[in-house]
Homo-oligomer: A and B are copies of this chain.
């Protein structure tokens, strides 16, 4: 994993050469510590920087005129914040932290430089964008066509799988640093209804919660009920250009 979280993320998809690793690490030379529930970048602000998320959880959200909000994306350590706005001058959403976090801001122009220097990394960024899109797609299905409990089940399963990507030894339980309000804003429902649906899942002995830690007690049953298919989290890397040297 080295000092760099983003290398950890990328090296899951392809073995990286030393040069590539150096390039990626150069994106993380500036560290910024930031406390829970604070805004990283507000909507409408210039998109001059991206941020890698070294530790902690973050979200992309959008607040609607009537006071509601929709959480668009939940970011886990190793992900890059802001990529989605690479083609926009001002941010389309607000980025904020859920927990205390360590972020590494780097200028947008660094990406172009990186593209110049490594085709392989260019492709990897392409791949990241495609994966984000697949996750969003799955969220669309979740929002459009699933009941409240199914939504929650699906969301929990997705988080579990995504956490396992960077943390192999993860078991069936993990810290979930989101309030029920936040879960509701992600899944398009009220916190009250999140509470009730969670209660149902607990009653059915499908999940358990203690402290901030959630435990998935019956993976198979959860997948069944949520119609969870992890294909969208499993990428193919064979089309990447260039061989890795290390």
Q: Which residues of A are interface residues toward B (Cβ below 8 A)? A: 62, 64-66, 68-70, 72, 83-90, 92-93, 108-109, 112, 115-116, 119, 122-123, 125-127, 129-134, 136-137, 139-141, 143-145, 185-188, 227, 231-232, 234-239, 241
Chain B positions within 8 Å of A66 at CB level: 227
A134 to B186, CA, bound (A): 16
Q: Is the CB of A133 within 8 A of B140?
A: no
A92 to B241, CA, bound (A): 23
Q: Is the CB of A64 within 8 A of B239?
A: no
Q: Is the CB of A143 within 8 A of B188?
A: yes
Q: Is the CB of A87 within 8 A of B137?
A: no
Give how many copies assemble into the complex.
2
Nearest Cβ on chain B to A217's Cβ, whole angstroms: 22
Nearest Cβ on chain B to A116's Cβ, whole angstroms: 8
Partner of A115 from the list B139, B141, B241 (CB cut-off 8 Å) is B241
Chain B positions within 8 Å of A145 at CB level: 64, 68-70, 188
Chain B positions within 8 Å of A87 at CB level: 126-127, 130-131, 134, 235-237, 239
Nearest Cβ on chain B to A17's Cβ, whole angstroms: 19
Of all chain B residues, the one with the shortest Cβ separation from A13 is B87
Partner of A137 from the list B65, B89, B136, B236 (CB cut-off 8 Å) is B136
Of all chain B residues, the one with the shortest Cβ separation from A62 is B141
Chain B positions within 8 Å of A122 at CB level: 115, 122
A-B contact pairs, 13 of them (CB 8 A): A70-B141, A72-B137, A72-B141, A84-B133, A87-B127, A89-B238, A112-B241, A115-B241, A125-B126, A126-B126, A140-B140, A143-B143, A145-B188
Q: Is the CB of B227 within 8 A of A64?
A: yes
Chain B positions within 8 Å of A144 at CB level: 70, 143, 185-188
Partner of A119 from the list B115, B125, B141 (CB cut-off 8 Å) is B115
Q: Is the CB of B129 within 8 A of A133?
A: yes
Partner of A133 from the list B62, B133, B236 (CB cut-off 8 Å) is B133
